[in-house]
Chain A
Amino acid sequence: MTALARLWKKIRHLGHRVRQLSGDDAYEVYVQHHAAFHQASVDAPPLLSRKEFFKYWQDSQWQGVNRCC
């Protein structure tokens, strides 16, 4: 691997972390979770659309104390 490719990989890795940190990838994480945990079961909850999931997710983020002084 050339130095440039390594650098590119590092930058992509960092970008990935920033997406994780901001919650930009929350929907993908949810889809993965859904596939891993609910696919096989008969009474699996339906997969939410991106928009539905985002509403659900954002509301659940603001239920308790999550910001401080």
Chain B
Amino acid sequence: MQKQLKFLLWVAVLGLGLAAVSAIALNRGESISAMWFIAAAACIYAIAYRFYAAWIAASVLTVDATRATPAERLDNGRDFIPTNKWVVFGHHFAAIAGPGPLIGPTLAAQFGYLPGTLWILVGAVLGGAVQDMVTLFFSTRRNARSLGQMARDEIGPIGGAAALIGTFMIMIILIAVLGLVVVNAMKHSPWATSTVAATIPIAMLVGFYMRNFRPGRVLEASLLGVALLLLAVVGGGWIDHQPMLRQWFDHEGLSLAWAIIAYGFAAAVVPVWLLLAPRDYLSTFVKLGTVMLLAIAIVILQPQVHMPALTQFTDGSGPIFGGKLFPFVFITIACGAISGFHSLIASGTTPKLLANEGDIRMIGYGAMLLESFVAIMAMIAATVLEPGVFFAINSPAGVVGSEAVDAIAKINSWGFAVTVEQMNQLARDMGESSLFARTGGAPSLAVGMASIFGNAFGKGMLAIWYHFAIMFEAIFILTTLDAGTRVGRFMLQDMLGNIWPKMGQTSWMPSVMLTSGLVVAGWGYFLYIGVIDPNGGVNILWPLFGIANQMLAAIALCVATGILVKSGKFKVAWITGLPLVWLLTVTTSAAWQKIFSDDIRVGFFAAANDLAAKLAAGVLPLEKAAVAPKLIFNQQLDAYLTVFLVVLLWVVVLDMLYVLYRYFSKQPLMPLTEVPYQPTRLLDNWVRD
């Protein structure tokens, strides 16, 4: 009887899911309720988790709840600690969910809401969550080894080196593009700039509190910090109304970029306890709180999505970034659907905390579903805006013109209604001087979130909600920036240490200064170019980041597929093999277009040649001619970078295929490095209380 009831329940979930997906896909009306998105996501996640993930865990990976995990076997009371599964889930989610799933969907909304939404749902369920789960599983079976180590042990030294270089490249591009997003949000906005600036002394105060005043009292220090952050949001509004004070925080993009570069260097050199660790606590609390608040607000308010399902920009003429729906929607939305970066977390801190293999489905697969849900909410927040407003905020001046009247005329010519007065009123409501050409996704997401929060929790505070949302994005972008620069520094020190051992000492100051400087110079260069580029820079950097991130995902899937085949599971190796083939198709064709396309808004070389020809003919306005040589060089550099990434990827793939060939032709292989079985001694439902 109960079995039948359960069966009926799942049939109902399936029915509702199908209804919701068809409502989203087939709607051609003026607007559609965001609740359909929530319903579609919830049903798809539930079915995938209950059936697909459970099948993978039980039949493909054969997780064994009686087997001792590294956390138990290597327990050292510090980093290897068997931990309650909900706590591990929280750590894992906080580690994987950064600003990526908020920005990607916002940018991809230029194609309409449908392509991005479907990719977020399908990509997460069949790709991203599977990648995270199998990587976590394989790392758990290998004493929590990292992806690079597993690639070296199971595929070969080339795969290991490729994973290392790939990670380093992603880090550089990711930090540059995130820095650009923050700069664009703070440009000529004294309120946003002063609030973001205030997060630095607040983090330092929290760091000092935890380190010296009340050592180890993480919770009280964080609560104090969050209270101060909220005060900083309100205080920024006060500063904005002081004619004297507001000048100090009213800056051009370029000076803000230099400030971020200087800050990034300082943050990488000072000890972690002073800035990075306390900022991370604050950003984690703010992030979890805001995501929950946004979910509640969407359910209470049930906003209407105004963006059409598909726009005319699927043909590749979009203002936010150039390129057709295929492959660029799959590059633009990486985090939220499938993100290679996650495989570094799933083979890093998380397996050191996992108390039982039985929890791998919930932590690996489940946390990715939650991140995917964050991406869906970002998509909702971007598409509840009137499309005209969305494009006015996100279109760079280089595409629509720098005068408000020109921009409005251009956007109206695309068939999206919006007026100058409407944009001015919106800017006034949000406490900003202008919202035109605020590229990067953060401001439009903040406007979307502010209107959702404002409608759900009181409309009088729109400007405060807007700046709260900006602070929320900026604080964990800066955390990623700090942490990424530091990781990049460690990796560089490690690499240079092979040549000159003294460089490898992480505490030797000259080495710290040099390597931090090199990493900051790397991303600082791309940030600088992004700021001086009249097309906003995001249109170049974000696709590059997407290609790099998907490349890392493909490397992780290569490792997983190789291990599955070597374990004699060729018949089920498609669970990682199919997403791998898809990512190869997407990444390679995107890279191909970025290199060879004749469209100057897509192809790097085409853009460089076009600009060079215009410069030679003397048709560029003076200020554009001044930066043109730098832009030309940068476009060429980006092209070679793309070539490098795609070659790196194919080297790993061929290396993996060679392992498969040796397996099937029964030639000797590197043995599996799985640690032998040891029974767990932890009791059922054990928790460390």
Residue positions of A touching B, CB distance < 8 A: 16-24, 26-27, 29-30, 32-34, 37, 50-51, 53-69
Contacts and interface: CB of A to CB of B under 8 A. Distances in A.
A20 B86 CA distance: 10
Contacts of A65: 167, 341, 344-345, 348, 483, 487
Nearest to A62: B272
Contact of B78 (A30, A50, A64): A30
Contacts of A55: 211, 273
* Majority SS at the chain B contact face: helix
B341 A61 contact: no
Interface in B109-126: none
Contact of A53 (B146, B216, B219): B216
A51 B486 contact: no
Contact of B95 (A17, A29, A33, A67): A67
Contact of A62 (B212, B486, B688): B486
Contacts of B345: 65-66, 68
25 contacts: A17-B87, A19-B219, A20-B84, A30-B77, A33-B75, A33-B81, A37-B75, A37-B77, A50-B215, A50-B216, A54-B211, A58-B272, A61-B272, A62-B483, A63-B490, A65-B167, A65-B487, A66-B95, A67-B479, A68-B95, A68-B98, A68-B345, A69-B334, A69-B339, A69-B545
A57 B490 contact: no
A17 B216 CA distance: 16
A67 to B, nearest CB: 4
A60 B78 CA distance: 8
B189 interface: no
B483 A20 contact: no
A69 B371 CA distance: 11
Nearest to A49: B215
Given A21-B87, A63-B490, A68-B98, A58 B277 contact: yes
Contact of B348 (A29, A33, A51, A66): A66
B217 A24 contact: yes
A23 to B, nearest CB: 5
B635 interface: no
A20 B94 CA distance: 14
Contacts of B483: 62, 65-67
Contacts of A19: 219
Contacts of A32: 77, 688
B96 interface: yes
Interface string B487-505: 1001000000000000000
Given A34-B77, A64-B487, A69 B335 contact: yes
B215 A17 contact: no
The 4 closest A-B pairs by CB, nearest first: A33-B77, A69-B100, A51-B215, A54-B216
B517 interface: no
B218 A22 contact: yes
A19 B220 CA distance: 10
A16 B96 CA distance: 23
Given A21-B87, A26-B216, A69 B99 contact: yes
B43 interface: no
Contacts of A51: 212, 215-216
B215 A54 contact: yes
Contacts of B273: 55, 58-59
Nearest to B371: A68
